[in-house]
Amino acid sequence: MVPITHFLYLAFALFVIGLVGVMLRRNVLIVLMSIELMLNGANIALVAFSRFHGNLDGQVLAMFTIAVAAAEAAVGLAIVVSIFRSRTGTDIDDLSMLRD
């Protein structure tokens, strides 16, 4: 039996890698993938705590989070494709010009 701390270390590592990717990268696709890593880290923590407590609440919440992440990825990718068609790249600094 694997202790819960191993799952929590994995969840923390995934979350931190995603957070670093969001903070340091400038490409929109990399930022979206980093957000997915952060959500997967949170899902692993939810499932680990659910298994530790012996109920299914965390696993059900993780399924809802996966569904929301899939919708976010589809909408985000559609926005990125639309921006890429109108501009030459997907740099985050270029997206600030869309406000004008």
Q: Where are the domains of the chain?
A: 4-99
Per CATH, the number for 4-99 is 1.10.287.3510
* Predicted structure pTM score: 0.83
Distance CA 78, CA 59 (A): 29
Asked if 83 and 28 touch (Cβ cutoff 8 Å), the reply is yes
Q: Which of 6-10, 22-26, 32-36, 89-93 has the lowest mean pLDDT?
A: 89-93
Q: With cut-offs at 50, 70 and 90, classify the pLDDT of residue 22.
A: very high
The pLDDT tens digits for 38-96 are 999 999 999 999 999 999 999 999 999 999 999 988 998 888 888 778 777 777 776 76
**No. of H helices and E strands in the chain?**
4, 0
Which runs of E-coded beta strand occur in 18-89? none
